[in-house]
């Protein structure tokens, strides 16, 4: 019999080793999958993981990693604060959408005026929109004790309908021949979240993600609030004795994650995406939840996890066009990677024991 | 505009069909959540059920065999989730989301050769004279057997949860897994069973879409029904009969919306479409006064040494 | 300093990538918005890709990426194709319009073809199909065959493309049947089989015995079959498996001739920017077999209508036509210009209800 035994302290070694183990397992089983589809497994895996980083056109893909990874990291960092404290915002997708709508609306309302103030105003509106959307579950939780997991999830659907309504109605491009979708903000200099240095993929969203990571790191490591978050997650009763005020914590965690998701939405709509459209959201809010866990709720881990996810998206598209792998195979491959990463995390907190030894 | 063209009898009969996939999936998820597990992978299990059911029905020519296969397929996929969350103690939210991603991809791979294929016909039950009764006939006695099965399932789940020892155990595990463990109950085993039941139900619900409602196979054809089922469980405050009510309400709003459009009534479709979710939030708020509504251990991992 | 060197390097590499392609094989890329297995829109574009491979054999190499979200993902996929030496890239969704223009600006030597859009550039052409020509034939058959005089119409989104189709079908149904009414339901989706099935059922329950659809799944066909005594038309693909009833004919998106022609033009070096809007005559819009369920005389009229549209002697939007509000649109004999058609956002006289805003 094999049994699990909880480690008194999380294993440092395994915390670093498990992601590698998971990736190795994914290579193996993913390789089997690709082979079953009649493709060369080694080539497929190399295409997904090697080409974007070190291939012939890495100069283009490396910046794209930032573009694709930044929203994931920005959202995930915010979520991780709440997750650590046992506050579950799984509606980041909705906050992302509402942030984008609010930010874009400010920009579109100013069109075609040019002013250096427009973009900052949009950033504020985006953060505010996401914050407000997250305040709904926060206030309901604080006031009525309503489950925030479910309320925030419900609000995603509401936001999606709102997005459809906006792209077909209020924010529709008046010069767009009746097609759904807003004006393209990329063609409106005052509202455009352009690359800061051309060709690097660095736009304000990437900068914001970096700032958020540093902010979260300092908060968790040094600040009293960070201590409150950690202690609430690990030992809620002890937290109350040590003077943590749960109401404040809920408002802070949900508000911060909402504002960051809203910012991610704004930077995306004003930059890489360019416009509000019915299908503007592509699931960053949900993927970010996975990223937060893959990163073990640690700011640095989240950066790595976000980049890893971005890599599988970008490499997956390359594998599709170069090797004719179906998109579905890439999805299954990503699913496997997530499964293994989640499963192997066990080894960080538990050790496997053979035999019947009783736990101490 | 002429509202009289809407036939209320047909509307009710149609919404029963439209509600069945959500009803099946939500009933399964209700049992899972009652056992204290939050599986967000309903959409993934439904679409796996949709393709397994479709493929087997096409190969064997028997839709009923297809439904059995769908249940097996859904349950098999749910085992991945059960392993992750119950054995390796991974986070349930993340595992559920990963399960949906995986299920969508896998179903597309499995279904590659079934695009454009027509499945065997699945007839309504012929209940003879019963179907001829005015009003009640078309509403109650003109459906296929799976729809009746879904209704029976709701009743069965209610009975089991309420009146049997097994149901009591399941609820105990969902309320307080540490106490249940201390009393000597097999928390993990019960939860794995509940998760598999949820997977099987979701699978059958998915197959109902691909074999009855649509019927055809296309990638991503469940188009978010699994997420609605999750909302429904909450809306129903984890009570089986309310799931039935909610499924008809959720299904009914879409039906009503389409009917009103057909009748020429100008309605803001998006705002009507978001109303079920807003109502769900409202229900949640009302329920939160009653602390006993949600299973207390929902979404929390359990390990004996905790 | 380092950054500058990096950038110069990148620019050089970009230049190399676009100009230094080996010329033996022409590489054609396709960007799809849905999965190849959607049985509708993307499926038909992929059929076009396969036709290109068939036509040119080993002189051509095709690549595709499916399920590409509109926005930055599509921009990245197009860039990736261009970097990997594609000579010609077809981007097959309206939402790829601005990304296509952006990427095309970076790769002046690569040709781009954007479906259903309106923005062109030196190396960007646009193409679309005059589906409304097929709608005219559907309207004719519908008007002749309906007994309840109620024709149901499942719209996707209230955009010009769809409104044009409704108008065209309505005009031709009214022409042969002054009592016909259209019942229009908007599904607000391009693809949600269950919802499409529901919409069809609702229309049938409300008395429609003809259902036209502007969504891509076969779900409405199955619903009509189950209801009985209802006729439908295949959309995007032939949907022949539902013939001879309920499916009596279809509009087929046939991109193959255009894709082959444009690939050939790139091979010959004769490619120039164009704004192509082809219909039945060029074979881009195919009219599927009219089934045995249609009476012989109706079938003959429908075929005559098809031929008249194909040889240019008849335009589906020929005056006298009025707008829904009763104002004049086209005088007798006048033909609608493409600009008005492209941005059509009004119903013609006789259609009831408002276009949702």
The DSSP code sequence of C48-94 is HHHHHHHHHGGGEEEEEE-SPPTTHHHHHHHHHHHHTT-SEEEE-SG
Judge if pTM exceeds 0.80: yes
C23 Cβ neighbours under 8 A, 6+ residues apart:
none
The DSSP H or E segment spanning A143 is helix A118-144
For residue B106, give both structure tokens.
Answer: 């896998």
The tally of domains found in chain B comes to: 1
Res B137: pLDDT: 74
In chain A, which among 36-65 make CB contacts under 8 A with chain C? 56-57, 59-61, 64
Q: Contact at 8 Å (CB) between C345 and C355? A: yes
The DSSP H or E segment spanning C155 is strand C150-155
Ordered DSSP codes for B116-171:
TPPPPP-PPP--GGGGGSTTHHHHHSSS-HHHHHHHHHHHHHHHHHHHSHHHHHHH
Contact between chains at C3 and A197 (C-beta distance less than 8 A): yes
Identify the residue with better confidence: B24 or A51: B24
Ordered DSSP codes for C312-353:
TS--SSBSSEEBTTS-EEE-TT-B--HHHHHT--SPBTT--S
Measured in whole angstroms, the distance separating CA C352 from the mean position of its chain's CA atoms is: 25
Sign of CA dihedral B139, B208, B227, B71: positive
Confidence of residue B122 (pLDDT cuts 50, 70, 90): confident
User: How confident is the model over C80-93, as a mean pLDDT?
Assistant: 94
Helix axes B8-34, B240-262, angle to 10 degrees: 140
Helix axes B8-34, B145-163, angle to 10 degrees: 40
Sign of CA dihedral C80, C82, C85, C87: positive
Question: Minimal Cα–Cα distance from A280 to chain C, Å?
Answer: 8
Report pLDDT digits (tens) over C171-195.
Answer: 999 999 999 999 999 888 877 888 8
pLDDT at residue B290 greater than cutoff 70: no
Res B2: pLDDT: 67
Res A354: pLDDT: 63
pLDDT at residue A325 greater than cutoff 80: yes
pLDDT at residue A7 greater than cutoff 90: no
pLDDT at residue B244 greater than cutoff 50: yes
User: How confident is the model over B221-237, as a mean pLDDT?
Assistant: 86
Ranking B126-140, B195-209, C212-226, C299-313 by mean pLDDT, the lowest is B126-140
A227 Cβ neighbours under 8 A, 6+ residues apart:
none
Q: Contact at 8 Å (CB) between B291 and B30? A: no
Least Cα distance to C231 among C203, C263, C259, C257 occurs for: C203
Does residue B293 fall inside a structural domain?
Answer: no
Res C10: pLDDT: 45
Confidence of residue C148 (pLDDT cuts 50, 70, 90): very high
Which range of A26-30, A320-324, B75-79 scores highest in mean pLDDT? It is B75-79
Report pLDDT digits (tens) over C300-321.
Answer: 999 999 999 999 999 999 989 9
Q: Which residue has the tokens 């500058």?
A: C4
User: How confident is the model over C327-336, as a mean pLDDT?
Assistant: 93
Least Cα distance to A130 among A162, A153, A110, A101 occurs for: A101
Res B291: pLDDT: 59
pLDDT at residue C47 greater than cutoff 90: yes
Contact between chains at B218 and C191 (C-beta distance less than 8 A): yes
Question: Minimal Cα–Cα distance from A322 to chain C, Å?
Answer: 7
Question: Minimal Cα–Cα distance from A301 to chain C, Å?
Answer: 24
pLDDT at residue A220 greater than cutoff 70: yes
Res A187: pLDDT: 87
**Distance of alpha carbon A113 from alpha carbon A333, whole angstroms:** 47
What kind of fold does domain C24-129 have according to CATH?
Rossmann fold (3.40.50)
Confidence of residue B292 (pLDDT cuts 50, 70, 90): low
Instruction: Write down the mean pLDDT value for chain C.
Output: 89
Res A355: pLDDT: 57
β-pair type (C88-91, C321-322):
unpaired
Judged by a CB distance cut-off of 8 A, whether residue B213 touches chain C is: yes
Taking residue C252's Cβ as centre, other Cβ atoms within 10 Å add up to 23
* ipTM surpasses 0.95: no
Question: Minimal Cα–Cα distance from C125 to chain A, Å?
Answer: 18
C-alpha distances (whole Å) from A11 to each of A6, B107, B200, C90 are 10, 37, 37, 52
Res B78: pLDDT: 97
Q: Which residue has the tokens 């493709």?
A: A39
Contact between chains at A200 and C157 (C-beta distance less than 8 A): no
Chains with 3 or more CB pairs closer than 8 angstroms to C? A, B
Contact between chains at A339 and B102 (C-beta distance less than 8 A): yes
Contact between chains at B7 and C199 (C-beta distance less than 8 A): no
pLDDT at residue A320 greater than cutoff 80: yes
Q: Which residues sit opposite C251 in a β-bridge?
A: C235, C287
Contact between chains at B223 and C191 (C-beta distance less than 8 A): yes
The shortest CB-CB distance from B284 to any of A88, A151, A336 is to A151
What kind of fold does domain A40-324 have according to CATH?
ABC transporter involved in vitamin B12 uptake, BtuC (1.10.3470)
Best C153, C198, C235 member to test B by mutation, with max B CBs in 10 Å, is: C198
Res A147: pLDDT: 81
CATH 3.40.50.2300 in chain C, residues?
Answer: 24-129, 131-253+285-342
Does residue B241 fall inside a structural domain?
Answer: no
| Helical ranges in A50-117 per DSSP H | 51-54, 58-84, 92-110
Contact between chains at A328 and B101 (C-beta distance less than 8 A): no
Res C327: pLDDT: 93
Instruction: Write down the mean pLDDT value for chain A.
Output: 88
Q: Contact at 8 Å (CB) between C196 and C137? A: no
Res B306: pLDDT: 42
Res B263: pLDDT: 83
Contact between chains at A331 and B101 (C-beta distance less than 8 A): yes
Identify the residue with better confidence: C152 or B254: C152
Does residue B205 fall inside a structural domain?
Answer: yes
Contact between chains at B281 and A154 (C-beta distance less than 8 A): yes
Res C18: pLDDT: 44
Res B96: pLDDT: 92
Res C145: pLDDT: 95
pLDDT at residue C17 greater than cutoff 90: no
Ranking A259-263, C12-16, C158-162, C288-292 by mean pLDDT, the lowest is C12-16
User: How confident is the model over B3-22, as a mean pLDDT?
Assistant: 85
Does residue B59 fall inside a structural domain?
Answer: yes
**Distance of alpha carbon B253 from alpha carbon B232, whole angstroms:** 13
Res A356: pLDDT: 52
Confidence of residue B300 (pLDDT cuts 50, 70, 90): confident
User: How confident is the model over B222-248, as a mean pLDDT?
Assistant: 88
The shortest CB-CB distance from B262 to any of C37, C38, C203 is to C203
Phi, psi of B220, deg, nearest 5: 65, 25
User: How confident is the model over C55-61, as a mean pLDDT?
Assistant: 94
Residues in chain A, overall count = 360
Does residue B147 fall inside a structural domain?
Answer: yes
Ranking A299-303, B7-11, C175-179 by mean pLDDT, the lowest is B7-11
- The CATH number corresponding to C131-253+285-342 among 3.40.50.2300, 3.10.20.30, 1.20.140.10, 3.40.50.970 equals 3.40.50.2300
Contact between chains at A328 and B91 (C-beta distance less than 8 A): no
Contact between chains at B274 and A161 (C-beta distance less than 8 A): yes
The shortest CB-CB distance from B305 to any of A146, A334, A359 is to A359
Domain of B30, in residue numbers = 9-231
Res A168: pLDDT: 85
Confidence of residue B216 (pLDDT cuts 50, 70, 90): confident
Res B293: pLDDT: 64
Q: Contact at 8 Å (CB) between A181 and A276? A: yes
Contact between chains at B105 and A346 (C-beta distance less than 8 A): no
User: How confident is the model over A5-26, as a mean pLDDT?
Assistant: 80
Q: What share of chain C is helix, strand, coil (3-state, %, to 5)?
A: 45, 20, 35
Residue A60: closest CA among chain C residues belongs to which residue? C10
pLDDT at residue C19 greater than cutoff 50: no
User: How confident is the model over C71-86, as a mean pLDDT?
Assistant: 92
Q: Contact at 8 Å (CB) between B205 and B23? A: yes
The DSSP H or E segment spanning A283 is none
**Distance of alpha carbon C185 from alpha carbon C203, whole angstroms:** 8
Judged by a CB distance cut-off of 8 A, whether residue A7 touches chain B is: no
Does residue B173 fall inside a structural domain?
Answer: yes
Report pLDDT digits (tens) over B180-208.
Answer: 888 888 889 999 999 999 999 999 999 99
**Distance of alpha carbon B117 from alpha carbon A198, whole angstroms:** 49
Q: Contact at 8 Å (CB) between B304 and A5? A: no
Question: Minimal Cα–Cα distance from B5 to chain C, Å?
Answer: 6
In chain B, which among 99-118 make CB contacts under 8 A with chain C? 108, 111-112, 115-116, 118
Domain residue ranges of chain A, discontinuous segments joined by +: 40-324
**Distance of alpha carbon A77 from alpha carbon A75, whole angstroms:** 6
The shortest CB-CB distance from A328 to any of B95, B109, B294 is to B109
Least Cα distance to B237 among B297, B288, B273 occurs for: B288
Chains with 3 or more CB pairs closer than 8 angstroms to A? B, C
Ordered DSSP codes for B43-60:
HHHHHHHHHHHHHHHHHH
Least Cα distance to C215 among C248, C181, C189, C245 occurs for: C189
Res C243: pLDDT: 79
Res B304: pLDDT: 64
Res C302: pLDDT: 95
Question: Minimal Cα–Cα distance from B187 to chain A, Å?
Answer: 15
Least Cα distance to A309 among A327, A295, A320, A326 occurs for: A295
Q: Which residue has the tokens 């240095």?
A: A197
């Amino acid at each position: 019999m094999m049994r699990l035994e909880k480690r008194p302290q999380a294993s440092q070694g395994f915390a670093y080793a498990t992601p590698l183990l998971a990736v190795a397992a994914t290579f193996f089983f993913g390789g089997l999958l690709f082979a079953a589809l009649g493709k060369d497994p080694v080539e497929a895996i190399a295409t997904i993981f090697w080409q974007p980083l070190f291939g012939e056109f890495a100069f283009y893909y490396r910046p794209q990693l930032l573009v694709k990874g930044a929203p994931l990291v920005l959202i995930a960092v915010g979520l991780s604060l709440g997750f650590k404290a046992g506050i579950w915002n799984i509606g980041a997708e909705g906050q992302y959408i509402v942030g984008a709508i609010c930010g874009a609306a400010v920009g579109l309302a100013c069109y075609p005026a040019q002013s250096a103030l427009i973009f900052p105003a949009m950033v504020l509106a985006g953060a505010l929109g996401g914050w407000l959307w997250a305040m709904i579950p926060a206030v309901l939780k604080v006031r009525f004790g309503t489950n925030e997991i479910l309320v925030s999830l419900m609000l995603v659907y509401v936001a999606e309908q709102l997005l459809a309504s906006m792209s077909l109605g209020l924010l529709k491009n008046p010069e767009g021949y009746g097609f759904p979708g807003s004006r393209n903000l990329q063609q409106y200099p005052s509202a455009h979240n352009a690359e800061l240095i051309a060709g690097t993929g660095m736009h304000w969203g990437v900068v914001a993600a970096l700032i958020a990571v540093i902010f979260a790191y300092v908060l968790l490591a040094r600040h009293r609030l960070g201590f409150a978050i950690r202690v609430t997650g690990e030992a809620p009763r002890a937290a109350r004795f040590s003077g943590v005020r749960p109401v404040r914590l809920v408002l802070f965690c949900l508000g911060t994650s909402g504002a960051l998701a809203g910012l991610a939405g704004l930077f995306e709509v004003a930059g890489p995406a360019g416009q509000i459209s019915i299908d503007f959201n592509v699931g960053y809010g949900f993927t970010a939840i996975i990223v937060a866990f893959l990163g073990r709720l640690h700011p640095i881990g989240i950066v790595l996890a976000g980049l890893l996810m971005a890599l599988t998206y970008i490499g997956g598209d390359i594998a599709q066009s170069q090797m004719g792998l179906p998109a579905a195979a890439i999805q299954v491959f990503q699913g496997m990677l997530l499964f293994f990463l989640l499963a192997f995390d066990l080894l960080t907190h538990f050790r496997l024991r053979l035999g019947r030894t009783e736990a101490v | 505009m002429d509202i009289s063209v809407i036939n209320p009898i047909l509307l009710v009969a149609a919404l029963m069909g439209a509600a069945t996939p959500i009803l099946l999936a939500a009933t399964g998820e209700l049992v899972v959540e009652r056992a204290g597990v939050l599986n967000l992978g309903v959409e993934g299990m439904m679409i796996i059920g949709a393709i397994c059911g479709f493929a087997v029905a096409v190969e064997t020519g028997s839709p009923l065999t297809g439904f059995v296969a769908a249940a097996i397929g859904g349950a098999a996929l749910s085992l991945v989730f059960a392993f992750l969350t119950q054995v390796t103690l991974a986070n349930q939210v993340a595992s559920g989301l990963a399960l949906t991603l995986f299920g969508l991809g896998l179903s597309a791979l499995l279904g590659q050769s079934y695009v454009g294929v027509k499945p065997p016909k699945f007839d309504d039950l012929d209940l003879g004279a019963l179907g001829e009764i005015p009003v009640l006939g078309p509403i109650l006695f003109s459906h296929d057997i799976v729809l009746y099965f879904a209704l029976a399932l709701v009743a069965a789940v209610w009975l089991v949860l309420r009146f049997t020892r097994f149901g009591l155990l399941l609820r105990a595990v969902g309320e307080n897994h540490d106490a249940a463990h201390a009393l000597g109950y097999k928390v993990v085993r019960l939860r794995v069973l509940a998760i598999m039941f949820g997977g099987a139900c979701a699978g059958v619900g998915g197959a109902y879409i691909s074999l009855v409602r649509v019927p055809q196979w296309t990638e991503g054809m469940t188009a978010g029904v699994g997420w609605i089922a999750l909302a429904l469980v909450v809306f129903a405050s984890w009570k089986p009969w309310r799931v039935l009510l909610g499924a008809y309400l959720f299904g009914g709003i879409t039906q009503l919306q389409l009917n009103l459009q057909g009748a020429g009534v100008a309605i803001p479709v998006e705002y009507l479409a978001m109303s079920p979710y807003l109502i769900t939030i409202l229900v949640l708020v009302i329920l939160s006064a009653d602390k006993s509504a949600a299973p207390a251990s929902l979404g929390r991992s359990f390990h004996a040494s905790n | 300093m380092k950054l500058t060197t990096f950038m110069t390097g990148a620019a050089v590499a970009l230049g190399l990538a676009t100009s230094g392609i080996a010329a033996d094989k022409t590489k054609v890329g396709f960007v799809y918005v849905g999965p190849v297995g959607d049985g509708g829109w993307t499926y038909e574009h992929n059929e076009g890709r396969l036709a290109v491979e068939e036509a040119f054999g080993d002189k051509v190499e095709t690549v595709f990426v499916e399920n590409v979200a509109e926005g930055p993902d599509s921009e990245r996929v197009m860039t990736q194709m261009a970097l990997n030496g594609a000579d010609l890239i077809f981007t097959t969704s309206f939402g790829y319009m601005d990304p296509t223009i952006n990427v095309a600006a970076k790769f002046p030597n690569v040709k781009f073809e954007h479906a259903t859009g309106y923005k062109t550039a030196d190396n960007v052409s646009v193409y679309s199909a005059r589906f409304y020509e097929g709608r005219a034939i559907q309207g004719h058959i519908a008007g002749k065959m309906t007994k309840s005089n109620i024709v149901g119409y499942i719209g996707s989104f209230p955009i010009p493309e769809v409104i044009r189709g409704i108008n065209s079908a309505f005009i031709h149904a009214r022409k042969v049947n002054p009592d016909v009414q259209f019942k229009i339901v908007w599904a607000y989706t391009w693809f949600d089989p269950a919802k499409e099935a529901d919409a069809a059922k609702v229309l049938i329950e409300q008395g429609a015995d003809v259902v036209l659809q502007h969504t891509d799944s076969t779900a409405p066909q199955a619903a009509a079959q189950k209801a009985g005594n209802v006729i439908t038309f295949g959309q995007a693909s032939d949907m022949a498996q539902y013939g001879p009833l309920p499916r009596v004919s279809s509009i087929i998106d046939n991109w193959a001739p255009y894709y082959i022609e444009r690939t050939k033009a790139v091979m010959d070096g004769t490619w120039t920017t164009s704004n192509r809007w082809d219909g039945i005559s060029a074979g881009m819009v195919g009219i599927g077999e009219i089934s045995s369920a249609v009476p012989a005389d109706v079938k003959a009229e429908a075929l005559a209508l098809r031929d008249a549209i194909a040889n240019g002697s008849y335009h589906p939007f020929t005056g006298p036509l009025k707008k829904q509000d009763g104002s004049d649109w086209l005088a007798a004999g006048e033909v609608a210009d493409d600009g008005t058609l492209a941005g059509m956002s009004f119903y013609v006289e006789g259609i009831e209800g408002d276009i949702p805003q």
